[in-house]
Structure 1
C-alpha cells in the first residue's frame, strides 16, 4: 500500500492541483484585493498541490528533460501575449511612448530570459546533464524568436490583425527586411521546426564527453613528456 502511494503520490497532487487551479481561475474573482480569507486558503492549497506534484514527480524518465521545456509553451503561448495585450491596451504605448523601450526590455529581455535561465539552472542543479540543460534553454529561446509568441498574441487576445495585415515583430523584420504579413509569420515560425529538431536530437553530451576525453588524453601526454 505504501509503495503504491509513493508511486502515484505525484499523480494525486497533479489532479488536485488541476482542480484547484480550475477553481481559482474560474470561481474566485480576479482582483488584487483579498475579499474573503478562504480565497487565500484556496490559492495556497492549490500552490501546495502543484508544488507536491513537482517535488514527487518521477524524474527517471528517458525523455523527462523535455517536460522541463513544456511550461514555456504555456508561458510564451498564453501568459506573455496576455501581459503584452494589457500593456498595449492599457495605454503604455499610446500615452507614454517613452516607456515602451523599458517596458519591452523588462518583459521580454529580462523576465522571459530570467525564467529561461532559472529553469535551466534548476534542472542542472537537480542532476541534469550539461547537454540536456543547454537544450532546454535553446529550445525555449528558439520558440521565443520563432514567431510563435507573435502569432499567439493575435490568437488568444480579442484583437484583430493590424491594418494591412502586417505584424511589426522586429526580430522577424531584421531577417526579412520588412514587416511580415500574418501568413509570412506562420511560414517563418514553421521554418524554425528543423532548427528545433536539430537542437532536440543533437548528441551534445556525447560531444562534450569526447572533448573532455581528448583534453584529458592530451594532458596526460604532455605530463608524460615533461616527466
Structure 2
C-alpha cells in the first residue's frame, strides 16, 4: 500500500507553460531572491552603517531596523518548496543557520560580555530575530504553508517587542522578593519608550505586555477567512461612504 502525500496550497499552482513544464529556479524563486537580497542589503546598512547603541530615540529608526526582518520573512515565505526539495536545501540552510549562531553570535557574546559598552546587548538584540527567522525557515523547508510562515514571523516578532523578556528577567531569576522586585518604572526599556513616548510604569508595562500577547495570539489563531472577511467589510464600508459623499 503506497502512502499518499499532501501538497501545500502553494505547491498546487498550475504550470506556467501550456506544455506543463515547471518554472525555472530563478523564476520560481524570484520573490525569494529579490527579498533576500534586500534583507541582506538592509542588514548590512544597519550593522555597518549605524552606531551600535542600547538606546533608540527615533520611532522611524526603530521601524527601519525591523525592515531586514520583514524582507527576510517575505523571502522565506515565497521559497518554492518543490525546488527546495529538489536541491535538498534543508540539508544546507538549516546547518548554515546553526553555524551562524554557533560560530558568529556565540563567540561574539562571550567576547563582549565583560567589555563595557553596548556591543554585548546589541549582539543579543540582533540574535533574537535571527533565531525567529531560523525557526520559521525550518518550518517552511519542512513543507509549511506560506500564510502560516507569515503568521509565525509576525507573531514571534510581536512577542519579542512585547516586553515579556524584561518581565521574565525579574520573575524567572532568583531575585529577592520575586514579583515585588519588579521596578516601579522601567527606565531601561527603550523599545517601549520609543513607542509610548516615555518610560513605562510597572502597570503600563503590564498592560503593554498583555496587549502584545493578545495581538500575537490573534495573529496566530484568527482564522484566515475571518481576517479576509474583515478586510472585505472595511472595503465595502469605504465604498459606501464614498458613494454617499459623491451623492452629497
Q: TM-score range by the shorter chain?
A: 0.3 to 0.5
**TM-score calculated relative to the size of structure 2:** 0.40
**TM-score calculated relative to the size of structure 1:** 0.43
